[in-house]
Amino acid sequence: MKRDINSNGYIFLYSTILVVVVTVLLTTASLWLQPYQQRNKENEKRIKILEAAGVFEDGNIDLIEGKLPLYLVNDSINVVPLHGKGLWGPIWGYLAIAPDGKTVLGANFDHKSETPGLGGEITTEKFQSQFKGKQISSDGKYIPIEFDAITGATKTSNGVKEMIDNTMQQYYQHEP
Amino acid sequence: MSHKKLLIEPLRKANPVTVLVLGICSCLAVTAQLKPALVMGASVTVVTALSNFIISLLRKGIPNRIRIIVQLVVVATLVILIDQFLKAFAYDVSKRLSVYVGLIITNCIIMGRLEAFALSHGPWESFLDGLGNGLGYSLILVIVAFFRELLGSGTLLGYQIIPQSFYEAGYQNNGLMILPPMALIIIGVIIWINNNKTESK
């Protein structure tokens, strides 16, 4: 008995089977590869934290779980994780602060979908290096960091500023 | 057509990029350096070859009215698998290629070969045809990336090629090479040379 391959019943059956097969395949692959992908992500995070702190040999990172998360590199440098909004999507980064809590040692930013060449420039060395050595607090109070915005990327630059302001204010309120 | 011809023809005489002018968009995006171009070429080759093979196996059972959807599902599945593999085993390259791996789905070469070839030929021929077209695409990608990285950054695969003494003597990297428009110009030159040679025969 030959089936009509253009009948509605056959089309429904065909697409159902196809979708089930594909779903099973993709789920299996995803479950199998997840540990590898997770490891890559953690590795990248580690490198980013060390870069922000300016430590290039293997550094030692500890996560301090308080009210707010804080990374301690080589038992002295504080690295604060930042999360904020860019123009098109989330931006995030790390800010390394000297043991005295007053000066910035370095910063590292990344983004999901900022415009390459404009907002995307926040990942460049040129943009990030201007944070080095900036004063961030006096008498235990946070003072906003001033930095040069990127021409043509006002929204992203403001996003970076807001991200740093919001996060750091909380840190200095709770644990000066 | 003989099997060998299926594999060789898309490299030059029926090259998907220079003769059929398909898949230009991704050529601009991933050719600023050689390494992403190589990975992108390999990924597209795997997808074209396998999707051609699978669709050709299924071709007698695919209902005509939903054949484009079936093709898309097969291609999308393969692309997602490749994306996951790259994320797991070649993380930095996958970050640099970012959305372009996902956009392999919309690469005209793949759908074009499925419609024009795989639906009417056997699995083995289709596989070779896909392989040939993928390689033809990769070839152009690699040629463009070679010139763009060499002249734009003075490196190849990240290794310094142009000696430091050149820079001291006043040589400068060509910044235009890094920008996307230059890829179009190089592809244009390749098409020009290619047409010139094939017509004189």
pLDDT at A65: 67
Q: Is the pLDDT of residue A20 over 90?
A: yes
Does residue B166 form part of some domain? Answer: yes
Q: Which residues of chain B have pLDDT under 70?
A: 1, 98, 199-201
Chain B nearest-CA distance from A33, in A, is 6
Distance CA A107, CA A129 (A): 7
CB contact under 8 A, B80 and A26: yes
The CA-based dihedral angle spanning residues B23, B26, B27, B33, taken in that order and rounded to the nearest 10 degrees: -160
pLDDT at A52: 80
Q: Which residues of B14-45 are buried (b: 16+ CB within 10 A; e: fewer)?
A: ebbbbbbebbeebbbbbbbbbbbbbbbbebbb
Does residue B10 form part of some domain? Answer: no
Does residue B7 form part of some domain? Answer: no
Q: Which of A1-5, A45-49, A116-120 has the highest mean pLDDT?
A: A45-49
pLDDT at A101: 77
Q: Which residues on A lie below 8 Å from B77 (Cβ)?
A: 22, 25-26
Inter-residue contact B162 to B154 (CB < 8 Å): yes
- Average pLDDT in the A161-172 region? 86
Q: Is the pLDDT of residue A54 over 80?
A: no
**What SS3 class is residue A42?**
helix
> Residue B101 is part of which domain span?
16-200
Inter-residue contact A130 to A148 (CB < 8 Å): yes
Distance CA B131, CA B100 (A): 20
Rg (CA), chain B: 18
What single-letter DSSP state applies at residue A152?
T
Token pair of B8 as six digits: 């060789």
CB contact under 8 A, A11 and B65: yes
pLDDT at B106: 81
Q: Which of A16, A34, A36 is best to mutate for the B interface (most B CBs within 10 A)?
A: A36
Q: Which residues on B lie below 8 Å from A40 (Cβ)?
A: 87-88, 91
Does residue B172 form part of some domain? Answer: yes
Sorting pLDDT into bands at 50, 70 and 90, what band is A3?
Answer: low
- The secondary structure of chain B in percent helix, strand, coil, rounded to multiples of 5, reads 75, 0, 20
pLDDT at A1: 47
pLDDT at B199: 67
Distance CA B117, CA B16 (A): 13
Q: Which residues on B lie below 8 Å from A48 (Cβ)?
A: none
- A157: Cα separation from own chain's centroid: 16
Residues β-bridged to residue B99? none
Q: For chain A, give me the number of helices (H) and strands (E)?
A: 3, 7
CB contact under 8 A, A22 and B77: yes
Does residue B1 form part of some domain? Answer: no
Burial label for B148, CB within 10 Å (0-12, 13-18, 19+), is buried
**What SS3 class is residue A7?**
coil
CB contact under 8 A, A6 and B63: yes
Does residue B160 form part of some domain? Answer: yes
Does residue B2 form part of some domain? Answer: no
Average pLDDT, chain A: 83
Is the interface score ipTM higher than 0.85? no
CB contact under 8 A, B89 and A25: no
Inter-residue contact A87 to A153 (CB < 8 Å): yes
pLDDT tens-place string over residues A67-91:
777 888 877 788 888 888 988 889 9
Does residue B83 form part of some domain? Answer: yes
Chain B nearest-CA distance from A22, in A, is 7
Query: What's the total number of domains in chain B?
Result: 1
Inter-residue contact A68 to A175 (CB < 8 Å): yes
DSSP B105-168: GG-HHHHHHHHHTGGGS-HHHHHHHHHHHHHHHHHHHHHHHHHHHHHHHSEETTEE-S-HHHHH
Distance CA B156, CA B168 (A): 20
